[in-house]
Amino acid sequence: MMMYKRIFECVTEEDTRRLASAVSRIAQKGDIFALFGTLGVGKSTFSRFFIQSLCNATEVPSPTFTLVQTYESDNFEIYHYDMYRLKIPEEAYELGIEESFYSGVNLIEWPEKIGYLLPKDIWQVTIQVINNTRCFEFSVNNEEKRQRLEKIDYA
Protein backbone atom coordinates (compact mmCIF):
# COMPACT_ATOMS: atom_id res chain seq x y z
CA MET A 1 0.00 0.00 0.00
CA MET A 2 1.42 3.37 -1.05
CA MET A 3 1.71 6.09 1.62
CA TYR A 4 1.33 9.69 0.55
CA LYS A 5 2.83 12.38 2.78
CA ARG A 6 2.64 16.12 2.91
CA ILE A 7 4.24 18.43 5.48
CA PHE A 8 2.84 21.79 6.53
CA GLU A 9 4.89 24.25 8.58
CA CYS A 10 3.20 26.55 11.09
CA VAL A 11 5.27 29.28 12.71
CA THR A 12 2.42 31.05 14.53
CA GLU A 13 -0.81 29.98 16.19
CA GLU A 14 -2.63 31.79 13.38
CA ASP A 15 -0.83 29.52 10.86
CA THR A 16 -2.15 26.52 12.83
CA ARG A 17 -5.66 28.01 12.79
CA ARG A 18 -5.52 28.44 9.00
CA LEU A 19 -4.18 24.91 8.49
CA ALA A 20 -6.84 23.34 10.75
CA SER A 21 -9.55 25.31 8.96
CA ALA A 22 -8.24 24.20 5.54
CA VAL A 23 -8.15 20.56 6.70
CA SER A 24 -11.70 20.85 8.07
CA ARG A 25 -12.91 21.96 4.61
CA ILE A 26 -11.75 18.69 3.01
CA ALA A 27 -13.01 16.47 5.86
CA GLN A 28 -15.75 13.94 5.11
CA LYS A 29 -17.95 11.70 7.22
CA GLY A 30 -15.93 8.62 8.15
CA ASP A 31 -12.57 10.42 8.29
CA ILE A 32 -10.34 9.61 11.23
CA PHE A 33 -7.56 12.08 12.01
CA ALA A 34 -5.05 10.34 14.33
CA LEU A 35 -2.96 13.07 15.96
CA PHE A 36 0.46 11.82 17.06
CA GLY A 37 2.91 13.95 19.02
CA THR A 38 4.41 14.61 22.42
CA LEU A 39 2.73 16.44 25.27
CA GLY A 40 2.20 20.12 24.45
CA VAL A 41 3.05 19.84 20.75
CA GLY A 42 -0.32 21.23 19.55
CA LYS A 43 -2.76 18.33 19.16
CA SER A 44 -5.51 20.01 21.20
CA THR A 45 -4.91 23.40 19.61
CA PHE A 46 -5.19 21.94 16.10
CA SER A 47 -8.35 20.06 17.13
CA ARG A 48 -9.92 23.16 18.67
CA PHE A 49 -9.33 25.22 15.52
CA PHE A 50 -10.65 22.38 13.31
CA ILE A 51 -13.84 22.14 15.39
CA GLN A 52 -14.35 25.91 15.61
CA SER A 53 -14.08 26.27 11.84
CA LEU A 54 -17.02 23.87 11.36
CA CYS A 55 -19.17 24.52 14.42
CA ASN A 56 -20.53 27.42 16.36
CA ALA A 57 -18.42 26.37 19.35
CA THR A 58 -16.66 29.18 21.16
CA GLU A 59 -15.34 26.89 23.90
CA VAL A 60 -13.67 23.67 22.84
CA PRO A 61 -12.18 22.11 25.96
CA SER A 62 -9.64 19.35 25.72
CA PRO A 63 -11.39 16.04 26.43
CA THR A 64 -8.60 15.04 28.85
CA PHE A 65 -11.03 14.12 31.63
CA THR A 66 -14.21 13.31 29.70
CA LEU A 67 -12.14 11.36 27.09
CA VAL A 68 -14.57 12.39 24.32
CA GLN A 69 -16.43 15.56 23.34
CA THR A 70 -18.91 15.69 20.45
CA TYR A 71 -19.89 18.61 18.24
CA GLU A 72 -22.53 19.03 15.55
CA SER A 73 -21.46 20.48 12.21
CA ASP A 74 -23.62 20.95 9.12
CA ASN A 75 -22.53 17.70 7.45
CA PHE A 76 -21.46 15.35 10.25
CA GLU A 77 -20.84 14.97 13.94
CA ILE A 78 -17.30 15.58 15.15
CA TYR A 79 -15.87 13.30 17.84
CA HIS A 80 -12.84 14.69 19.67
CA TYR A 81 -11.05 12.00 21.69
CA ASP A 82 -8.16 12.21 24.14
CA MET A 83 -6.97 8.64 24.76
CA TYR A 84 -4.06 9.61 27.03
CA ARG A 85 -5.62 8.18 30.20
CA LEU A 86 -6.72 4.83 28.75
CA LYS A 87 -5.14 1.84 30.45
CA ILE A 88 -6.00 -0.71 27.74
CA PRO A 89 -7.28 -0.24 24.14
CA GLU A 90 -10.60 -1.98 24.88
CA GLU A 91 -11.64 0.92 27.15
CA ALA A 92 -12.30 2.86 23.93
CA TYR A 93 -15.34 0.64 23.27
CA GLU A 94 -17.03 2.21 26.30
CA LEU A 95 -16.72 5.59 24.56
CA GLY A 96 -18.66 4.39 21.50
CA ILE A 97 -15.62 4.66 19.28
CA GLU A 98 -16.69 1.98 16.79
CA GLU A 99 -19.90 3.80 15.93
CA SER A 100 -18.13 7.16 15.70
CA PHE A 101 -15.74 5.79 13.07
CA TYR A 102 -18.70 5.43 10.68
CA SER A 103 -21.06 8.16 11.77
CA GLY A 104 -18.80 11.20 11.93
CA VAL A 105 -15.36 12.73 11.72
CA ASN A 106 -12.92 11.73 14.45
CA LEU A 107 -10.03 13.70 15.91
CA ILE A 108 -8.05 11.32 18.10
CA GLU A 109 -5.29 12.55 20.38
CA TRP A 110 -2.90 9.85 21.65
CA PRO A 111 -4.16 7.28 19.08
CA GLU A 112 -1.31 4.93 19.97
CA LYS A 113 -3.23 4.19 23.21
CA ILE A 114 -5.95 2.37 21.22
CA GLY A 115 -3.41 0.40 19.20
CA TYR A 116 -5.00 -2.32 17.09
CA LEU A 117 -8.48 -0.71 17.34
CA LEU A 118 -7.34 2.13 15.08
CA PRO A 119 -8.52 1.44 11.51
CA LYS A 120 -5.91 1.20 8.75
CA ASP A 121 -7.46 3.84 6.48
CA ILE A 122 -6.82 6.97 8.54
CA TRP A 123 -5.31 10.42 8.24
CA GLN A 124 -2.11 10.03 10.23
CA VAL A 125 -1.02 13.45 11.50
CA THR A 126 2.38 13.59 13.17
CA ILE A 127 3.16 16.90 14.86
CA GLN A 128 6.68 17.94 15.82
CA VAL A 129 8.29 21.21 16.84
CA ILE A 130 11.50 21.84 14.92
CA ASN A 131 13.32 25.16 15.41
CA ASN A 132 10.21 26.87 16.88
CA THR A 133 8.13 25.72 13.91
CA ARG A 134 5.28 23.22 14.21
CA CYS A 135 5.56 20.65 11.46
CA PHE A 136 2.37 18.76 10.64
CA GLU A 137 3.08 15.65 8.58
CA PHE A 138 -0.09 14.21 7.02
CA SER A 139 0.13 10.61 5.77
CA VAL A 140 -2.67 8.85 3.89
CA ASN A 141 -2.77 5.50 2.16
CA ASN A 142 -5.26 5.78 -0.68
CA GLU A 143 -5.74 7.79 -3.84
CA GLU A 144 -8.99 9.46 -2.81
CA LYS A 145 -7.43 10.83 0.39
CA ARG A 146 -4.26 11.80 -1.50
CA GLN A 147 -6.36 13.94 -3.83
CA ARG A 148 -7.99 15.68 -0.87
CA LEU A 149 -4.59 16.11 0.81
CA GLU A 150 -3.33 17.89 -2.30
CA LYS A 151 -6.24 20.36 -2.08
CA ILE A 152 -5.24 21.65 1.36
CA ASP A 153 -4.21 25.28 0.97
CA TYR A 154 -3.75 27.40 4.06
CA ALA A 155 -1.65 30.26 2.71
Give the pLDDT band (50/70/90) at residue 8.
Answer: very high
Would the pLDDT of 1 be above 80?
no
Average pLDDT, the chain: 94
Class of domain 4-140: alpha beta
H or E element that contains 130:
strand 123-130
Q: What is the mean pLDDT of residues 7-32?
A: 97
Nearest to 79 by CA among 124, 34, 15: 34
Q: 24-51: per-residue pLDDT in tens?
A: 999 999 999 999 999 999 999 999 999 9
